[in-house]
Structure 1
Amino acid sequence: MIDVAELRIGTSGWRYPPWRGDFYPRGLVQRRELEYLSSRMNSAEINGSFYSLQRPERYRAWVEQTPDDFVFAVKGGRFITHLKQLRDVETPLANFFASGVLALGRKLGPILWQLPPRLAFDAERVEAFFKLLPRTSHAAAELAKRHDDKLKAEPHTDPSPRRKLRHAVEVRHPSFAEPESLDLFRKHGIALVVADTAGKFPYIDEMTSEEFAYVRLHGDEELYVSGYSDKALEKWARKIKGWGRDTYVYFDNDVKVEAPKNAIALAELLA
């Protein structure tokens, strides 16, 4: 095993019809897909939270369907990143954290914030957003108490067990590669996602958090479609070994069932 405190490798989401009868055994009922996936890898990104606020009971169900040592990364809502574009987002952030994220308990890993391609680096706006992000479960619970009536269910504001929260930001505008941007990420300990997008968006390979790295692999040659060859996976394994810190890696090349296969193969290389 590589010399890092924690290595998590998984997929971005798990409910994809093309996986059925291929990665998922034929006849496996849909409600057991997460259970099966979590028997093959140790982490997954929750993507439904990007599209809409979830419910606490859904997060609790995901906890029950996975092993004790499984970890979820949670994708922050597009209402915050794409519609509001990080402006005036204190209440939307409260709604997000009140929607059940904290119900994941010890299985809660990093929070992922994916910015739209049109959003250029603006130091004042980005730093204001960073300052709003809670760094502990207790801070998140206090923020969650300021939710409004947009929630679909009773809020979950229980911070236990007490733990630190980590945040990662995936950018898609080249201005975020400038030194001022990188310095701001480092100042606040936010991980700048290392994202491989088959050349569609800027590739920025900079470690901005001393604690952890976050990687999203969207496709080696074609976005969301192409898989990673053995040679490409070996390259990523060498990178991860060189970082020497907690690392979270998620494959998002899900169209042709490449993501779970690549995740398992990379984990084997790093075992």
Structure 2
Amino acid sequence: MATKKARILTGIGGWTFEPWRGGTFYPEGLVQKRELEYASRKLTSIEINGTFYGSQKPETFAKWRDETPDGFVFSLKAPRFATHRRVLAEAGESVERFFSSGVLELRDRLGAVNWQFAPTKQFDEEDFEAFLDLLPKHADGLTLRHAVEVRHESFQCDAFVVLARKYGIAIVTAGDSKYPQIADVTAPFVYARIMGTIEEMQPLGYDEAALDRWAGRARTWAAGGTPDGLETFGKTPAKETARDVCLYVISGYKASNPAAAMALIERVSG
């Protein structure tokens, strides 16, 4: 995923969803086995959620790799068995099992890994650092990128930002959601999940102003800046350097998410 030039990778969560069929996103009559092929040519990234619940066969990851074009990137939700535990320092076996399960078959299509924590998980600096120390930086010749999605307000502090920055791990920015927002840049890339698509009178899920706003934020992040209007908690600002951006339209009114993502791609491309 690392590139000489910063990239803005924009997409949705998964690609199998009944309301996207029949002309909403997928063309009428498109067979289900070709949905990934289609989606990967309309979007620039997809976040795979199924890996949060269980593993896939190595052949499946290889198949996904081969069905997508050059430059397309998958982000993966890491297994809940690693993150949903009382003592995170004991997650080493689950972390190792995940990276030996076949995910590396994605090769150059492998983007960031999102380690999502339960909303009840509170910040324990010592235990959380022990967990971050378990995350490998390289595997099978690939450079790995990690993001942590924390959902408890206790993480909204400078100590957490300093810790994430020490390990070069991104903090997932939650946009337009009920979850606490921590938009500090702590890694060579940004990982944002926006969750505010709606149905009523919004064919693109978001209104034009909101789409312009998020596209502008993505461009600012990619250029090395810090966007306005987002909550940050670090006492030291991030270094200004070009960085990749992963921007996913997730949750909200899910039927509209592909339309919103494509509208964002059009804006950031321009």
Any conservation in 2 of the 1:110–1:168 contact (CA below 8 Å)?
yes
**Given residue 215 of structure 1, which amino acid in structure 2 is its aligned partner?**
A
Give the distance between the partners of 2:102 and 2:86, measured in 1 at CA: 21
* Alignment partner of 2:219 out of 241, 265, 269: 241
Length-normalised TM-score, structure 2:
0.85
Structure 1 segments (4+ residues) deviating >6 Å: none
**Matching residue's letter, 2:173:** V
- Give secondary structure in 1 for the equivalent of 2:174: strand
CA contact (8 A) 1:216 1:249 kept: yes
Letter in 2 for 1:190: I
The residue number in structure 1 matching 2:256 is: 258
**What is the match of residue 193 of structure 1?**
172
- Distance in 2, matches of 1:168 and 1:194, equals 10
- Structure 2 unaligned segments of length 5 or more: list them: 224-242
Aligned to 1:92: 94
Cα shift readout 1:89-141 (whole Å, capped 9, x = no counterpart)? 1111111111111100111111111111000111111101111101112xxxx
**Cα deviation, residue 254, structure 1:** 6.3
Q: CA deviation at 1:5?
A: 1.6
Q: Give the gaps of 5 or more residues in structure 1.
A: 138-158
Deviations 1:221-267 (A, max 9, x none): 79xxx922111111111212222221011111364411111111001
Identify the residue that residue 113 of structure 2 maps to in structure 1: 111
Amino acid paired to 2:189 = F
1:1-271 → structure 2 map (5 Å cutoff): 5-21=6-22, 22-83=24-85, 86-137=88-139, 159=140, 162-198=141-177, 200-209=178-187, 211-220=188-197, 227-243=205-221, 244=223, 245-253=243-251, 255-271=253-269
Rounded to whole Å, the distance in 2 between the matches of 1:219 and 1:83 is 29
Farther off after superposition, 20-29 or 82-91: 82-91
Deviation track 1:126-169 (CA, whole Å, cap 9, x = no partner) reads 101111101112xxxxxxxxxxxxxxxxxxxxx1xx23111011
SS of 2:143's partner is coil
Amino acid in structure 1 at the alignment position of 2:62: R
TM-score (norm 1): 0.84
Note the aligned Cα RMSD (angstroms). Answer: 1.8
Q: Is the 8 A contact 2:197 2:254 kept in 1?
A: no
Task: Name the amino acid aligned to 1:219.
Answer: G
Indicate the SS of the match to 1:10.
strand
**3-state DSSP class of the match of 2:183?**
coil
Per-residue CA shift, 1:185-232, capped at 9, x if unaligned?
11111100111143x1112221111x110111122579xxx9221111
Query: CA–CA distance in 2 between the matches of 1:249 and 1:67?
Result: 19
CA distance in 1, matches of 2:86, 2:78: 13
Check conservation: 1:196, 1:220, Cα contact below 8 A: no
Equivalent residues of 1:43, 1:73 under 8 A apart: yes
Bigger CA drift: 104-113 or 76-85?
A: 76-85
Q: Specify the alignment match of 2:238 in structure 1.
A: none
